[in-house]
Amino acid sequence: SYVLTQPPSVSVAPGQTATISCGGNNIGSNVVHWYQQKPGQAPVLVVYHDSARPSGISERFSGSNSGNTATLTITSVAAADEADYYCQVWDSSIESPAVFGGGTKLTVL
């Protein structure tokens, strides 16, 4: 089945830019969605279709996808952005069409 690889953790100082990668074989040919999950809460969609933002999501969240890597970028990081972030794609595999990355813990220093 399709595998998505995320770094376990990313740390960034307040006000700086955080980038979270999501690696997969030719992931650029897939549509990537990103979710934010804070402790004890349900996930929240922050970017869909590679780079689109749902209504109510800050413009500080953006996404890109090309080649073997998709990227979530968060500018002007604030303490409230500290959370786990998951990428997700739909694969043509019959084993598990929807696949999540392992998640990245974003720590705001």
Partner 1 sequence: QVQLVQSGAEVKKPGASVKVSCQASGYTFNSFGVSWVRQAPGQGLAWMGYINTQTGDTNYAQNLRGRVTMTRDTSTRTAYMELRSLTSDDTAVYFCARCPTPSCYLKAFDRWGQGTVVTVSS
Residue 33 touches partner 1, criterion: CB under 8 A? yes
Please, what's the largest Cα pairwise distance for the chain?
Answer: 43
CA distances from 38 to 8, 10, 61, 75, 82 (A): 15, 15, 16, 18, 7
Burial label for 91, CB within 10 Å (0-12, 13-18, 19+), is middle
Residue 42 touches partner 1, criterion: CB under 8 A? yes
**Beta carbon of residue 15, minimum distance to partner 1 (angstroms, whole number):** 28
- Give the residue from 106, 109, 68, 65 showing the smallest Cα distance to 86: 106
**Beta carbon of residue 34, minimum distance to partner 1 (angstroms, whole number):** 9
Residue 58 touches partner 1, criterion: CB under 8 A? no
Residue 53 touches partner 1, criterion: CB under 8 A? no
Applying CB under 8 A, among 22, 35, 63, 106 the residue interacting with partner 1 is 35
- Segment lying near partner 1 (by CB under 8 A), choices 14-22, 36-44, 63-71, 72-80: 36-44
